Structure 1
Amino acid sequence: LESCQDRLIELEKILENPNDPTRVRFLDGTDETPEIIMKKLEQLEQRLSTKEEQSLEKDLILEQVNRLIERLSTKADAGKDDTLALAKKVNDLQNKIKDITRKMMATLSELTIHQADALKLQQEKNMKDVELQQSYARMEQGEPPSEELERDWQRTNELEQKRKTERRTREERERETEHFLLPGGVITQAEPRPQAYAPSDDADIQVARPYGSHAPFKPSEPGANMRHIRKPNPKPIEI
Structure 2
Amino acid sequence: MKELIDVGNLPKHIAVIMDGNGRWAQNQGAARIFGHRNAIKAVREVTEGCAELGISYLTLYAFSTENWGRPEFEVRALMELLVQSIRNELPTMMKNNVKLDTIGDINSLPGSCQRQLAEASEATKDNTGLNLILALGYSGKWDITQAVKKLAADVKSGVLSPSDINEDVLAAQLSTGARPEVDLMLRTGGDHRISNFLLWQLAYAELYFYEDLFWPDFRREHLYQAIMAYQGTERRFGKTGEQIKANSAK
TM-score normalised to the size of structure 1? 0.13
Q: Larger strand proportion, structure 1 or 2?
A: 2
Which of the two has higher C-alpha Rg? 1
TM-score normalised to the size of structure 2? 0.13
